[in-house]
Amino acid sequence: MTIRLGVNIDHVATLRQQRGEDYPSVVEAAVHSLQNGADQITIHLREDRRHIQDTDVEAVHLVTKRYGKPLNLEMGSHPEIVEIAIASNPEWICLVPEKRQEKTTEGGLDLLDDSTFIRIEEACQKLKANIKDVKISLFLEANPKILEKAFMLNADAVEVHTGEYAKKFLNGEDITPYLQKFAAAKEMIVANKWGCHAGHGLTLESVEPLLEKNLFVEYNIGHWIIAQAVFDGLGTVVKKFRDKFDQFNS
């Protein structure tokens, strides 16, 4: 099994948008990431366009195509964003919740809420009907009741929200309950023959216990990579992740 590394380059665009310049380039960020071992590039086109812009989607997709790697487009279920996704034809789409006031995605989709479930169900149906061979992941908490609802949808994978786990790790607190929850979630997801992915808040250190437990087949990591790149360079940081992942590849 090869553990896949998705590099999220949203915060390269965050830095660019702060000054309204053309730099730093998300295209160059995608190139550097892929050249140093990323298995895919992840970008989140938010409804408020706070970082990634519409034109970035096609530009980054051209890079991933050139390297023979997938684009993973994170997005909410707003109809306008769904139409952009259909026009862009990404290989993967990760449906996530969005709130305008949040600094970043704060948790998984609440599929126990009827209106949210219907909205996600409609988005999945439209995306599957209009993008040939697209695969869809759902950004969810490791909650058995939510996972049971997810399996009623036309999707292919769950990306488990690791944000709270990552905070506990950084604070030196006990992470055992999270590892247990993730293992139980993995069992359900694999039994349903879906992909078991993870993302949010992870660092080079906090990802290691997850790798040791063989919990996920794909990790999407962004903020820490871009932050550490200020000191070490983007290519160097991505390569460190690639080397760590390869230690656990069979």
Active site (annotated) includes residue 223: no
Active-site hit among 11, 32, 61, 74: 74
Task: Determine the pLDDT at residue 98.
Answer: 78
* CATH number belonging to domain 4-242: 3.20.20.70
Domain residue limits, the chain? 4-242
Active site (annotated) includes residue 102: no
Task: Determine the pLDDT at residue 108.
Answer: 95
Active-site hit among 32, 51, 197, 200: 200
Secondary structure in 3-state letters for the chain? CCCEEEEECHHHHHHHHHHCCCCCCHHHHHHHHHHCCCCEEEEECCCCCCCCCHHHHHHHHHHHHHCCCCEEEEECCCHHHHHHHHHHCCCEEEECCCCCCCCCCCCCCCCCCHHHHHHHHHHHHHHHHHCCCCEEEEEECCCHHHHHHHCCCCCCEEEEECHHHHHHHHCCCCCHHHHHHHHHHHHHHHHCCCEEEEECCCCCCCCHHHHHCCCCCEEEECHHHHHHHHHHCHHHHHHHHHHHHHHHCC
Active-site hit among 44, 61, 161, 197: 44
Active site (annotated) includes residue 200: yes
- Whether the model pTM is above 0.85: yes
- What averages of pLDDT result for each successive group of 10 residues across the chain (250 residues)? 93 96 97 98 96 98 98 97 97 88 71 97 98 98 98 98 98 98 98 98 98 98 98 98 92
